[in-house]
Structure 1
Amino acid sequence: MGHLKDGLSGISFRGSILTAIGSRHSTIALYSDASSIHSHRVRLVLADKGIQSEICTVVPGEASAELLELNSQGTLPTLQDRELALYDARVIIEYLDERYPHPPLMPIDPVSRARTRLALYRIEADWYTLRPDSGFQSDPAQAARQLSESLTAASDVFAAMPYFFSEDYSILDVTLAPLLWRLPSYGIVLPSAAAPVLQYARRMFARPAFQASLSDVEREMEHS
């Protein structure tokens, strides 16, 4: 990921049986895949901001009529906030950050915001697509090796600041922490040369909001 260096509480799980949601939900409802990295990102934002919400766990491919009424494609995550229904993790996260601005996940000034968006693009384009389960890789083992090598090569970026590419917690950390949590499930053990990445990961995992964001499935993922 060499381009990056240059460009750069209130949650309750309900299980898999869903009830009609419509306008009867007085709080935000998130239809979530318990193992999906994209659903995890949204759950983490909800926890970070302490947004009262209802997590409706859905088995992929088994979308209920209620979910399909909100999102005809049945994709996850899907969020409902009263009469508004949104899907796509990025869209949902940006909405939540604007709707609930504290703590902010984006810098205030336009230049820093643009740099953060560029870094986010690189994370998703360079690292998320290398996930063995991303659907973009024909050789999962090779993808895992490339992901490990790319993360290791970016160790100095992880070491430079308290958070990724920033002095403050941001949408970049929201995106990276769920990825790093899944590395062992991808068969990835980072080498000693990636010590700054591992140290960063431990800091992110220790945050109460991160722990609150984990589904039961994610808690069972082995990690160091």
Structure 2
Amino acid sequence: MLLYEHPLSSYAQKVKIALREKGLDFTAALPEDFGTGRRAGPFAEANPRAEVPILVDGDVTLFESTVILEYIEESRPEPPLLPRDPAARARARLTEEICDTQYEAVNWGYGEVLWFRRATGDLAERLKAVAARQTAELQAWLTERLGAAEWFGGARFGWADAAAAPMVNRSVHYGLGPEAGSPLARWHARLGERPSVAATFAEFDAAAARMAAASAHYTTGGRRREYRDHRLEWMVRSGGVEVVLAGLRDGNIRFSWPHGD
């Protein structure tokens, strides 16, 4: 298997955790055109959205992290990540949906300010404050779903844990992690004891340490951050519409496929 990915992508991390939990061999590669928005070449041919992750398994090429997870689960069912009970499976997918949409957007918005300096001064502080409040709200929701169990699926690590792990861990990196000693903090500590998660988090940490040096690529237009769906909504409704307008003016942001020009 070949996985086109970026170590900072929460969606790619989710897929890598699943692959490693199942003991599957894969090669991880950063696409040469990642972040450029180019519309030609192998990367764009594999995914017209020009997003990671992309999984290539023989003659099967897939994008969209949830679709990839479903393919992995169905083609390599052991050990299972989804429980057998339909209601429990639905709960796992619902946890993933909230993590992939609302939680990822908050993390992404905070990173736009912290790593890419899209806003400064009072605007930056307002955006970070919004992200901090919403992170706490999302973590409270996850804590309620976790309950007294060790994992979101109960006694064993599963689908929802793989989906939530990159989101909560990024919050921890930002200094917005769950309260020490809380059920969600203890869950996060257990994650680090699993080889699949520890390896994925180590790759995230190494890439995050290089972000300060790489951030200029995304402000000069060499690379362009993708403003799409929940991410764009978050920035606008959190008071950062001028960030979007500046990105359009400076040509250092992009929107998803299909393209309008």
Fold shared, TM-score > 0.5 on shorter chain: yes
User: 1:125 offset after TM fit, Å?
Assistant: 4.3
User: 1:202 offset after TM fit, Å?
Assistant: 0.4
2:154 corresponds, among 166, 177, 180, to 166
C-alpha distance in structure 2 between counterparts of 1:154 and 1:79, whole Å: 28
Give the 3-state SS of the residue equivalent to 1:206 in structure 2.
coil
What is the aligned-residue RMSD (CA, Å)? 2.9
**1:204 equivalent in alignment to 2:180:** no
1:144 corresponds, among 104, 128, 132, to 132
User: 1:179 offset after TM fit, Å?
Assistant: 1.3
**1:30 equivalent in alignment to 2:6:** no
Letter in 1 for 2:69: I
1:61 corresponds, among 35, 59, 68, to 35
The 1:217–1:171 alpha-carbon spacing in structure 2 relative to 1, beyond 3 Å, is: closer
1:95 corresponds to: 71
Structure whose CA Rg is larger? 2
Alignment of 1:110-125 (within 5 A): 110-125=86-101
CA contact (8 A) 2:106 2:135 kept: yes
The 1:150–1:173 alpha-carbon spacing in structure 2 relative to 1, beyond 3 Å, is: same
TM-score by length of 1: 0.74
Letter in 2 for 1:147: T
User: 1:87 offset after TM fit, Å?
Assistant: 0.6
C-alpha distance in structure 2 between counterparts of 1:126 and 1:221, whole Å: 22
Letter in 2 for 1:195: S
Letter in 2 for 1:141: A
C-alpha distance in structure 2 between counterparts of 1:179 and 1:77, whole Å: 16
The 1:129–1:74 alpha-carbon spacing in structure 2 relative to 1, beyond 3 Å, is: closer
CA contact (8 A) 1:79 1:92 kept: yes
Give the 3-state SS of the residue equivalent to 2:152 in structure 1.
coil
C-alpha distance in structure 2 between counterparts of 1:158 and 1:140, whole Å: 26
CA contact (8 A) 1:29 1:79 kept: yes
Structure 2 unaligned residues grouped into runs of 5+: 114-125, 210-261
Letter in 1 for 2:197: F
2:230 corresponds to: none
Letter in 2 for 1:130: V
CA deviations on 1:16-61 (whole Å, 9 max, x unpaired) are xxxxxxxxxxxx1000012111111111111111111111123631
Give the 3-state SS of the residue equivalent to 1:119 in structure 2.
helix
CA contact (8 A) 2:179 2:185 kept: no
2:19 corresponds to: 46
TM-score by length of 2: 0.64
C-alpha distance in structure 1 between counterparts of 2:9 and 2:141, whole Å: 26
